[in-house]
Amino acid sequence: MPRDELFDELPVVKYKAGKGFERKDDPVIKESSIRILLNGREIIAILALKQELEELAVGFLYNECLINDPAAIESVVVNERLDAVMVESKEEIPEAALTTVRSITAGCGKGVSFINPLKIDYFKILKTQKEIKASVITGLMHEFTRASELFRLTGGVHSAAWSDGEKILRLSEDIGRHNCMDKLTGWKLMNPEKSKDAIMLISSGRISSDVVAKSLRGGGVFLISRSAPTTGAVQLADSFGITMVGFTRGERFNIYTHPERIIE
């Protein structure tokens, strides 16, 4: 979708000290309710930015453990008239995995801390021998921030990206930070050759435990953010082998878990 179809120009009254009030048109991001169906069954409706919808659906279903074998996916079809994405898979939908899936809003996720015990077997401890230089992390964050064009234009989206520890491989933007993570997981599953070296997730938003779970599910052994983590997120990252870095701003950052992978 062209970028100018992702926002509207709306009349606003701007104020600036010393200059007073001014009426102008300003870009305001659009949001849509996107339905995700799996094998004909409606799973969820998500408020999202209407782009990368195939990736959003596949990533969400995988991160929620409703699909586990990307090779079993037979089709992913976007129905623009219904604002729906229909996924067909040869896998059987596990009923237990559906117990916590419901309609969610864009900003706050589902409010579920840690990993549902019914799904714990789908999550594995991440391991890597790769070490990343501290200067590379700050450099990637600078590149990431510059690349988020829609945020600079509207201020109304989160962004997240895959990196191989050297460069940005894929950037996604959405009104919800969880949606960004799902889109990136979906892209990785749908593009195994392009994403084979994707081991680092970079995010603009706060790191909660469900964001860590999505990083874990997608194979993001490094999780880097401009923002802060929660205690639950730190505990989860530590337990499952994720190197978590927060407050990555300018030339500084905080390492919360597994600091041995980051070197001078």
Q: Which two tokens stand for residue 73?
A: 């996916």
Contact at 8 Å (CB) between 173 and 49?
Answer: yes
The amino acid that residue 177 corresponds to is R
Radius of gyration for the alpha carbons in the chain, expressed in angstroms and rounded: 19
The DSSP H or E segment spanning 8 is: strand 7-16
DSSP of 37-84, one letter per residue? EETTEEEEEEEE-SSSHHHHHHHHHHHTTS---GGGEEEEEEETTTTE
Residues 6+ apart with CB under 8 A from 217: 62, 63, 65, 122, 123, 185
End-to-end CA distance of the chain: 42
Contact at 8 Å (CB) between 241 and 258?
Answer: yes
Let me know if 108 is a catalytic residue.
yes
Catalytic residue among 108, 120, 125, 263: 108
Q: Which residues of 187-205 are buried (b: 16+ CB within 10 A; e: fewer)?
A: bbbbeeeebeebbbbbbbb
Distance CA 187, CA 157 (A): 19
Distance CA 250, CA 38 (A): 43
Which of the residues are catalytic? Answer: 108
